Amino acid sequence: MANYLIDTHTHIHDPTDRELSAADTFKHAREQGVEKIITIGTDPDNSMQAKAFAEEWAAKGEQIFWTYGYHPNEYVEKDRANLADVAKMASEVLKSPRNVGVGEIGLDYHFDGYSTEMQQELLLEMLQLAQDNQKPVSFHVRDAFDDFWPIFDNFKLPTSVMHSFSDSKKNLNEALNRGLYIGVNGLSTFADIAHPPLERMIFETDAPYLTPKPFRGTMNKPGYVKHIAEWATEYYKVDFGTVAKITTENAEKIFKI
Ligand SMILES: [Zn+2]
């Protein structure tokens, strides 16, 4: 029985996103019962950094995995001409033994100044990549669900995840009805948001962002999954072992880790 936790969405491969050294980040995580970590790429260069980091630390015995991602707000006009080449190269690096998925990808209409047309163009390319390689996806969708669902429905993906969900109950149900799992993070410890049933939940930190209580105001790290799990024991009124077992087994099934 899985009695440890997993951080399924973090950004620890870039040293500027870490408070501690890589070695100490892993050590801290283990001390908190977080045994496996998935570090998430956010653009082509950043994803290659994630790959190198995961391969390096896996060789040293860490249970570290990575995903190839291209965040909607990282795709700018000058990148457009290269998109097909980038996708072709991504398809090659997905063969890395430590790769467990595609993401984060999605739509984010929260901030002005980003073309919705370009975001959708990128999302289509990345969904094709995930579908062709049958990789699970870590989705980032913010203030854009009306456009997102019709695009999502055109693809056949392995069981995937809506990361950092903080939208309406209606969109939560849209996600659950489509078989998506929900990545729950520190937001749950301080914000009033809709929550999935425990059976459809996995944990993530999204470190260095979204630090859970009681560490608000400091940099987040994978070990803090423990505090999200503790929040869940209170919210769902179940013991820690049950929370760990369900969320960890979900993550292991989805990402095959
Ligand atoms: Zn993220």
Q: 230-243, pLDDT tens digit by residue? A: 999 999 999 999 99
pLDDT average, residue stretch 176-184: 98
Name the packing angle between helices 44-59 and 83-93 (round to 10°): 10
Ligand 1 ion: Cβ-proximal residues, 5 Å cutoff: 206
Which residue is it, tokens 């209170």?
234
Q: How far is the CA of 172 from the centre of ligand 1 (A)?
A: 19
Average pLDDT over residues 121-126: 98
Mean pLDDT of 179-192: 96
pLDDT at position 243, please?
98
Percent of the chain with pLDDT over 70: 100
Mean pLDDT of the chain: 97
According to CATH, the topology of domain 5-255 is TIM Barrel (3.20.20)
**Is residue 1 over pLDDT 80?**
no
Mean pLDDT across the stretch 49-56? 98
Q: What is the pLDDT of residues 126-162, one digit of tens each?
A: 999 999 999 999 999 999 999 999 999 999 999 999 9
Q: What is the pLDDT of residue 2?
A: 80
Dist CA 241 CA 27 (whole Å):
21
What is the C-alpha to C-alpha distance for residues 23 and 7, in angstroms, rounded to an integer? 16
Q: Of 188, 174, 136, whose CA–CA distance to 158 is shortest? A: 136
Q: How far is the CA of 187 from the centre of ligand 1 (A)?
A: 13
Q: Among all chains, which residue has been given the structure tokens 């060789």?
A: 59
CA of 77 to the centre of ligand 1 (A): 22
The tokens for 62 are 């860490």
Q: What is the CA(209)–ligand 1 centre distance, in A?
A: 8
Q: How far is the CA of 15 from the centre of ligand 1 (A)?
A: 15
> What pTM did the predictor assign?
0.97
- As to burial, measured by CB atoms within 10 angstroms (0-12 exposed, 13-18 middle, 19+ buried), residue 195 is middle
For the chain, the distance separating the N- and C-terminal CA atoms, rounded to the nearest angstrom, is 15
| Distance between Cα 41 and ligand 1 center (Å) | 8
Over residues 101-126, the mean pLDDT reads 97
**pLDDT digits 0-9 by tens, 13-32:** 999 999 999 999 999 999 99
Q: How do the domains of the chain map onto residue ranges?
A: 5-255
